[in-house]
Amino acid sequence: MTFPSGHLQQNPLPTGVVGALTLTGYQLLVDVAGVGAGRLGPQAFLLVAPESDGSATVQLTHISLHQTRLGDEHEAYVYQQLAAQLGYLRLSGYRLALERSGLRSKIALVNPATGAISMQIPDKHPGRLFGGGGNVSALLAATRALPPAGPPPDLQRPELLQQTLLALALGDDSTTGAQAAELADKALELTKADPTLDPGAALAAARQQSPAG
């Protein structure tokens, strides 16, 4: 399953969900393979476009891991990283199965090689009092520890390669969303000039050529 760049921008949350959750005017922070992070004031959440069911109808975007009050600004950035990692896992073969829970949805990461659910993400952030090991930082660490579901994304397809590069760039704690997009674009140009470069090497070369690198 692939999603074009800008999919979530063109297919935002349904107006009924936005109104009921008072999320009118939310900001889309990142969009990788139909997975994104949203932000409105102290609120943060994941946005996920569902896998196609083969019908001609538009599949509505879901909201998950909704946190109504962020602990700090770093926590908002972790949402971006988690969205990027989920997008990367989807590009590598994992399926994101969505289960409605009221207005929000739970996410199950399904490894297609085994059919097993590798991990689950709740519809709401558990918060610091009851969160235990289930906070957004712990979820990010858990997704990064998952084994590959299959072969890497088809790097001969520029659309997939660009999203893969963006996801990898966002995995760096020192890189902002805007910087990651610039690095991904620069790395994509480098791979066009030298097809032997793998995504990691292309990003490293792009960082060296960037003003801040």
pLDDT band at 37 (very low <50, low <70, confident <90, very high): very high
pLDDT of 109: 95
Amino acid letter, residue 81: Q
pLDDT of 131: 47
DSSP 93: T
Mean pLDDT of 35-59: 85
8 A C-beta contact, residue 5 and residue 49: no
7-19 pLDDT per residue, tens: 999 999 999 999 9
**Could you tell me how many helices (H) and strands (E) the chain has, helices first?**
8, 7
8 A C-beta contact, residue 153 and residue 160: yes
Distances (CA, A) of 99 to 18, 19, 47, 77, 201: 18, 21, 13, 25, 37
- Greater confidence (126 vs 117) lies with 117
87-111 pLDDT per residue, tens: 999 988 899 999 999 999 999 999 8
Alpha-carbon Rg of the chain, whole angstroms?
Answer: 17
- Give pTM, 2 decimals: 0.84
Which of 107, 113, 116, 6 lies closest to 51 in space, CA to CA?
107
β-pairing verdict for 104-111 and 116-121: antiparallel
Q: At residue 54, does pLDDT exceed 70?
A: no
118-171 pLDDT per residue, tens: 999 999 998 765 545 468 999 999 999 998 776 656 667 777 788 888 888 888
Q: At residue 84, does pLDDT exceed 90?
A: yes
- Greater confidence (68 vs 150) lies with 68
- What b/e string do you get for 131-148 counting C-beta neighbours within 10 Å, with b at 16 or more? beebbbeebbebbeeeee
Going from N- to C-terminal start, the domains of the chain cover 7-144, 158-209
156-188 pLDDT per residue, tens: 777 778 888 888 888 877 777 778 888 888 988
